[in-house]
Structure 1
């Protein structure tokens, strides 16, 4: 991949998203539990980090401490947490978003102590997130921002705009809303921040972390 990319290959994503509940389907890799803690996985991860390649982590919110452990074990690795840490809203987590928000925020605060980790702000319009827009109908951008804004702002407060990047997660999010609605909603969430901070979250952080050239 490095050779084929001719300088454009930036890194990989390997999902660890798994939950003990039968109501929650594991990610497409069908990972075992505690993948990021596995010694064999970490031997491979060490080779990735040594090559200066990025690592995108996709997991569910109860697994955030496992990523924190990985990030602390490999402080030189550039790690990107996808989808705000995968807050779940189905199965045993249905209707309990307000109950586990403080735990999610505390786990994110622990992860934020790792300077080698950045966060993708988005990816919470999937059916597994529990807003049920795929059943009740798509929200407009104002309703989207009102429903999810606290999660975005918490992550930005913890990591800072220079370690956050907005993402779309399309086409998966299409089950719940349109691409236009999503980005208009993200602009609403970003509205209170300075122009310099918006530049970081909408482009600068991603360009720096992934080494994107003009």
Structure 2
């Protein structure tokens, strides 16, 4: 089994990579920064916010070479950013473009390349890491909500394509104790009115451990149920 994970260097992505390694997978991690605590991961230093760099890397053939000969292959599009937070009018063109590129464009580009490279694979799975914010709106999170909703719709549409031996789902993993959560708690309430809810989750110890969440996500991706529903929430799965 060969697996590709974006944003593997910390948080949920690190938890996913560790869980895949524990299950005997060959893992390629794609992120701007490496993680020396994951010596079993084949790391690719790549800024997913740079479309030209991503395209050039794919043209170089490293992804296709890694996946060559795999009987089972997995792509987990985990990388994402929450900024800019706040209503339109102050989000800024640069930050908006970067967020859409990381959260959506990179995931779709990698999915396309993965599907092409695994055409002869007996079993292949694509998981987008989504969010409840893609299914319920939050004031101040118009960009984040929109990009996560885009991943959900992409999974729905690709599922209808009926590609051979391909299962796809956009999966919300729950609220996890990551650097992104710390970033959210540091946001001004005027930009994100729901901040108190997230402060309370941290205060009450209700945030999931990234390692546990990563293991739960991998368990689901490897489960026979994966892909039965193109949009899923780990909190709803027994």
Q: Which has the higher contact order (CA 8 A, sep 6+)?
A: 2
Give the TM-score, by structure 2 length: 0.38
More helix by share: 1
